[in-house]
Amino acid sequence: MQHLRDLYSGDWLRIFAVGCFEELNGREENDRSSKHKDHCQYIDFVKFPKQHGFQIKDDYTLYGSGVSEACCGKMTLRVFLQEWLFFQLISCVVQEGDKPILSREALTCHEGQQLNTGELNRALKQWHHDLERCYVKDPEATTMRLLEANQILELAKQVVIANLADKPSRLVVPPAQGPGSVPDDEDEESLCYMVLGETLSAVLVHAMKKCNVKLPGWEPDDGGGWGPPAYGYKKMQEKGWCPRSQATIKGQLGRNATLLYVTVCAHENNRHNIHGEQHSLRSCNSRECWFIEAEHTKPGIERKYELSHSPNCTSGDKCSVVGPDEEDILDVLENSEEERKGPFPLLRIVDRGGEKGIEVEQWTEGTPFATISHVWSQGLGNRTERKIHTCQLEMIQNWVKKAFRDQDNKNHLFWIDTFAIPQNKGDPRCAKLKRRAIGLIHHIFSNAQHCIIIDRHLLTTSRSIHDCRTIGATLLACGWMMRLWTLQEAFVSAQLHLAMRDRNGLKSLNDLWNDSGEKDVVLLSMAGMVQRKVDHNLMVQRKAAHDPVESNQGARQKSNVQGHHHTNGALLMASAWRATRYRTIRNLGEETLALATLLDVPISQSLDEPDSRAPNGLNKSESSRDRQRKRMRDFWESIRNDNKLRNSIPPGMIFLPGERLPFPGFGWAPLTWMSGEDEAYPYPLDSPEHPTTLEEGKGLVVTYPGFLLYSTREKFKRIIKLRKPFDFSVNRGLDEWYRVKAAKKKLRQGAHSPGVEGKTAENAGSIAQRLNRRIDKKEALRFAIILSRPRPVEVTGEIGLLVELCLEDAGSSGSPPPPRGQQILYCKIICRVEVSRLSVSRVENCPCEEGDPMTPGYGPIISRFDKFKQEGIAGVQLHDLQEWCVDGYDDLQTLESSIPSPRPEDTAPAPAPQQTSLLGKLKKAMTWSKS
């Protein structure tokens, strides 16, 4: 862990010591380390577990085998992990030629009592240089050397994730801190191995890029991380982090142990995350945080929102408030005839007899100005009047000047929502102009030359002299990074600047990563790790692709606009979903408005009835839930009517977890983008290969492979409950089998109401009950599985959907067959599933039920046929380009398979289906299901 001191310049970094076991420190008679000094090759690392009494299962979990080779004795688990994942990992990977760069003595300190990575960065530079030098001389041999190092790290990483990482599927956030949340020695050891592995992996990725080694399928997973670490989670609980902030950080940083650790360190004094004793954590949970930094409470006095002062203010209570004339703001907004374009108010700071004042000017095209992006809860907003403290105004004036790099006293124009957006005080005029002002936000930020980001924690702790890694770690968990409105403000802005603690400190976020250390490969590699997370949460890559001026591929994009314009739009929405899912918003009623502003889509939105402040998740009021559902439905209808995005709804949306909309045609759509949910492997949002169509009242038309399922009624009743996995084959040779099980669910604790996954599971249970009743009534039901990609891999389950097919709609649509000659399959989602392919050897030795032995006397061939009979399910593999019209059950009380008939203008004569068509196959499936 000591090597982190060279990477982060913040005074908040805390490095703890990890003890070295006596059996490994070279000072004990039973020391095992001497036996491995000359065994530092690839095969030595791979054989090491077996030599010391351990085996690795298919899922990478370790177990004691009780057998060790004669050269080595058996180790305890913790001693084994330290020797293998620390000493052996460094020695076998960080080499010059074929010899370790660091001696064993260099990896310990305090007479061998503690682990030490203080020399690691120097060794990594030497290793990287040696790889570059060797690649020039012998690229083939060096490529294999890089691949061997990559495979060593991959093996170690999977073992760490399986045995030492906290459960990634759980979002366990206790309501309050307690003694059980304090990290112990094992947590520290695990974090040490994770940080070490991520450091080595980052430098290896850099080396492969430097050597231009590109081997599809063999690339290191440089963004996944080796965690998540229990140490970071427990540390947040020990320090009293808000459960909502914990959930956000866990989601945004994922498995990256290094970033979680340094981020927790960087925010030890951030009141946005650690509210203090005045605020009870019992009022917060993993979906909701009710803390407002600018709300101050005194005994016996009601909570009150108080305007904040700048950190450098010396006037205190004597600091006056100042603002523009609100009538001037309203007059400018009334001059804007268009809802999303046209003039808007800009502000200029003027001197009025020694006092600061603000004049309002109307924007005209080409006028240079800066915008201010901030979080209202931190005290720069004002809910009662359009005013802020003079010290804040002076601070803004200084930063705007710095952004424009002016040396004179010219006062540039700026825009801030506190002044420029009217508040709805029951005045119809203000309400109307507030809607207009919010509708102009995309237009405003996209026309600004500069956007200045003001976050309270950044402002008080960060300095412009800090390195990019330190600033990035501070930025990752700040309040500004967690809000939905600030995401769209950052996305559409040309130049972003971070306000720092020092008066002259204004750091360009666009150029932040340029000072990562041009020649220091370790600094570059670790800066890249931070940058990827920051860019991911700010949609930076999509921003470049979305704006041809910023993208070097602008010309190519224009040439492909006719054939593949849907791809950019789909990737834009996918990136927006990822960046949005862990963010919050003060008024949940503004979620769809913020999303529409982000995507530059016109949407009709009423702000007259704001919902209760619920930053994430679902409102308790059913009327509020109904409004939320309708707003999200209207949002998707706006997408369907938009010329740029109508065919760009990411098809992978159908696989997302969480509660879905209950309306006909929208049962595939998530209720909220701020769900706090994760994607599932293999992350289908990344692959929008085909355009989508949102058919009114029917669903979303997507293109995916899949299977038709054939079985008996009784078997189908068990299948749709998914209490146990089921297997099926897809050909008569019985040599291609698949396993289906219920998708993993994220568990939540500390919430006062059921989480979205809990609600979804409840709905899935209701759906299964209704379907079983229909089966009992002898209805002919058809079922299928939609895959997220062809031929799922073994071991790791890939996300898919178990669906009910709506045969009547497929036969009565009246629409001509698609160009590929395949019919669209209309279906309704039953539940999310994970599908994995079973190897032939696994099928031949696999019992039909977990724990059941193979039938005695059966050979491998007969076992397949026996398994087919026992499973009682057959699958028919569909074309990889099969089209599905996906919907959900809009009424769980009446789960009838019916989709509204298409509008007359959408219908056209269609040829009668042939029995050899897909429709014919479905009718055969219906006949079998009646048996």
Please spell the DSSP secondary structure of 591-636, one letter per residue. HHHHHHHHHT-------SSPPP---SS--S-HHHHHHHHHHHHHHH
DSSP structure class, residue 203: H
Lowest average pLDDT, out of 344-358, 411-425, 777-791, 916-930, goes to 916-930
pLDDT band at 165 (very low <50, low <70, confident <90, very high): very high
Predicted pLDDT of residue 758? 47
Range 345-365 burial, b when 16+ CB lie within 10 A, else e: bbbbbeeeeeeeebebebbee
* 418/740 Cα distance (integer angstroms): 53
Residue 61 has pLDDT above 80, yes or no: yes
Confidence of residue 172 (pLDDT cuts 50, 70, 90): very low
Give 218-233 pLDDT, tens digit per residue.
887 656 799 999 999 9
Residue 64 near residue 123, CB atoms below 8 Å: no
- Write the pLDDT tens digit of every residue in 399-408: 999 999 876 6
Q: What is the mean pLDDT of residues 88-99?
A: 95
The count of C-alpha atoms lying within 13 angstroms of the C-alpha of 691, restricted to the half-sphere facing its C-beta, is 14
Asked if residues 811 and 772 have their Cβ atoms less than 8 Å apart, the reply is no
Whether 177 has a pLDDT exceeding 70, the answer reads: no
pTM comes to 0.84
The model's pLDDT over 604-636, given as tens digits with 9 standing for 90+, comes to 755 544 444 444 444 445 678 888 899 999 999
Q: What percent of the chain has pLDDT over 70?
A: 80
Q: Determine contact, residues 802/740, Cβ cutoff 8 Å.
A: yes
Dihedral sign, Cα of residue 237, residue 239, residue 243, residue 249: negative
- Going by their DSSP bridges, the two strands 883-887 and 321-322 should be labelled as unpaired
Res. 899 pLDDT band, cuts 50 70 90: very low
Whether the Cβ atoms of residue 508 and residue 495 lie closer than 8 Å to each other: yes
Strand partners, 230: none
Q: Tell me the domain boundaries of the chain.
A: 2-283, 316-517+536-555, 565-578+589-697, 701-929
868: its two tokens: 């087919």
List beta partners, residue 389: 321
By DSSP bridging, strand 883-887 and strand 825-838 are: parallel
Length of the chain: 931
Range scoring the smallest mean pLDDT among 32-36, 564-568, 588-592: 32-36
Cα–Cα distances (Å) from 776 to 213, 714, 930, in that order, read: 60, 9, 11
Say if residues 816 and 908 touch (Cβ distance below 8 Å). yes
Is residue 851 predicted with pLDDT exceeding 50? no
Distances (CA, A) of 371 to 31, 392, 488, 586: 64, 15, 13, 20
Alpha-carbon distance 783 to 720, whole Å? 9
Q: Are 332 and 366 in contact (CB under 8 A)?
A: no
Q: What is the largest CA-CA distance in the chain?
A: 102
E strand or H helix at 723, and its extent? Answer: none
Closest CA to 65 of 78, 48, 53: 53
206 touches 525 (CB < 8 A): yes
- pLDDT over threshold 50, residue 179: no
CA distances from 319 to 21, 303, 507 (A): 60, 22, 27
Residue 394, exposed/middle/buried by CB under 10 A (0-12, 13-18, 19+)?
middle
- Of the two residues 835 and 844, the one the predictor is more confident about is 835
736 CB neighbour count, 10 Å cutoff: 16
Q: Report which of residues 72 and 323 the model is more confident about.
A: 323
What is the enclosing helix (H) or strand (E) of 475?
Answer: helix 468-476
Alpha helix locations (H) across 803-915? Answer: 807-812, 840-845, 860-871
Return d(Cα 619, Cα 626) in angstroms, integer: 10
Beta bridge partners of 346: 361
- Residue 566: which residues within 8 A CB-CB, separation 6 or more? 647, 648, 688, 690, 691, 692
**Residue 804 phi, psi (nearest 5):** -100, 130
> Quick check: 554 pLDDT over 80?
no
Q: Please tell me the predicted confidence (pLDDT) of residue 639.
A: 96
State pLDDT tens for residues 732-763.
Answer: 999 899 999 999 876 554 433 334 444 555 67
More confident position, 172 or 483: 483
What is the pLDDT confidence band of residue 24, given thresholds at 50, 70 and 90? confident
The per-residue pLDDT for 492 is: 93
Mean per-residue pLDDT, 262-282 = 85
Identify the pLDDT of residue 712.
Answer: 94
Mean pLDDT of all residues in 777-784: 94
CB 480 within 8 A of CB 531: no
- Output 58 or 878, whichever has higher pLDDT: 878
Extract the tokens encoding 59: 């899922």
| Residue (of 698, 634, 659, 680) closest to 883 by Cα position | 698
Least confident of 70-79, 572-581, 665-674: 70-79
Query: Residue 429: how many CB atoms within 10 A of its CB?
Result: 11
Q: Mark 661-678 as b/e (b = at least 16 C-beta within 10 Å).
A: bbbbbbbbbbbbbbbbbb
Band of pLDDT at residue 23, cut at 50, 70 and 90: confident
Q: In this structure, what token pair is assigned to residue 786?
A: 């939609």
Neighbours of 405 (CB within 10 A): 8
DSSP 49-111: HHHTTEEE-TTS-EEE-S---TTS----HHHHHHIIIIIIHHHHHSEETTEESS-TGGGEETT
Nearest one of 483, 480, 415 to 444, comparing CA atoms: 415
CA-based R_g, the chain, Å = 30
* Mean pLDDT, rounded, for 560-580: 81
Q: pLDDT for 128-155, tens place per residue? A: 999 999 999 999 999 999 999 999 999 9
Q: Are 346 and 430 in contact (CB under 8 A)?
A: no
- CA-CA-CA-CA torsion for 478, 481, 484, 489, nearest 10 degrees? 130
Nearest residue to 342 via CA among 418, 447, 451, 430: 447
pLDDT score, position 505: 79
Q: What is the pLDDT of residues 106-136, one digit of tens each?
A: 999 998 999 999 999 999 999 999 999 999 9
Sequence-separated (6 or more) residues with CB below 8 Å from residue 899: 664, 697, 698, 699, 806, 809, 826, 887
pLDDT at 441 over 70: yes
